[in-house]
Structure 1
Amino acid sequence: METRLDLPYAEAVTRVREALAAEGFGVLTEIDVRATMDAKLGVELEDYVILGACNPSLAYRALEVDRSVGLLLPCTVTVRAEGGTSLVEMLDPRAMVTMTGTPELSPIAEEARARLERVRDALAGATATGAPAGPGGGRP
């Protein structure tokens, strides 16, 4: 799931955090990919952050079904600069059902996906340079 925002990177990251919060997600982890690659490898990348977003009630429900699903938590959201725009990508939570082979996780994954779709759509409606890509608004 993705959307391109007609915003500079720093503002896009702020908007993503706000949109996630509006859907009950907090950011538990943040990896500054640009800074890490520079520090560890001496290479320069565009501004790029990986956010680990968690909705505690959904995470708890998923863990109650299958404790090993913790390997797939939290939800991954990336923001990266591309020219004068920013690209926001979100991993489809349905991947946890496929990867665990646990169909009982499906309702939780669908709810998480619906929330992330609302995040994407709120961002797209307010600041995107175009409509979300692909059927259902982006790559699954």
Structure 2
Amino acid sequence: MTELAISTRVNSTFEETVESTRKALSEQGFGILTEIDMQSTLKAKIDADIERYVILGACNPRLAKAAIDTDRQVGLLLPCNVVVRSDGSDTIVEAMNPQLMVGLSAAPGLADVADEATALLQAAIAALDGANSPS
């Protein structure tokens, strides 16, 4: 079974981790199309309290184009969601595993796109391990 996420746990503040995540994604060719503050949204809409939790909608335009060229319905899985969330004194960063697309569509060529997207997201997540080390 394909893992749902590519993830890491860092010992850094939430704000620093969100900023480091944006930078690491940018360095791998991803832009942030959307940002959802789940903590604020859930508090405002249903008066629910959760930990600090942000969803970044990351997109690598070249890979997004290649993916939808193989199967137009793959757009339902875009952008790649990256979650930054508090967990005690640590912060967790999780990126949706692009390999999930391959399990949902048999379109020729999609596996190659997913492999490249996976490698780029893994590199971004791996960069956070060093960037968020305590000083």
* Fold match (TM-score > 0.5): yes
**Which of 88, 92, 98 is the equivalent residue of 1:93?**
98
Measured after TM superposition, the shift of residue 65 of structure 1 is: 1.0
Q: What is the identity, as a one-letter code, of the residue corresponding to 2:46? A: L
**TM-score with structure 1 setting the length:** 0.88
- Matches of 1:103 and 1:51 in 2, distance apart? 28
Structure 1 residue 104, shift from structure 2 partner = 2.1
Question: Is 1:105 aligned to 2:106, yes or no?
Answer: no
The count of aligned residue pairs is 129
Unaligned runs of 5+ in 1: 130-140
User: Cα distance, 1:103 vs. partner?
Assistant: 4.3
1:77 paired residue among 70, 78, 82: 82
Residues 1-140 of structure 1: matches in 2 within 5 Å? 1-127=6-132
The TM-score normalised by the length of structure 2 is 0.91
1:84 deviation in Å?
Answer: 1.6
The separation in 2 between residues aligned to 1:6 and 1:103, in whole angstroms, is 41
CA–CA distance in structure 1, aligned partners of residues 85 and 133 of structure 2: 14
Q: For the aligned residues, what is the CA RMSD? A: 1.2
| Alignment partners' CA distance in 1, 2:130 and 2:67 | 30
Structure 2: give runs of 5+ residues left out of the alignment.
Answer: 1-5
Contact residue 12 and residue 91 of structure 2 kept, 8 A: yes
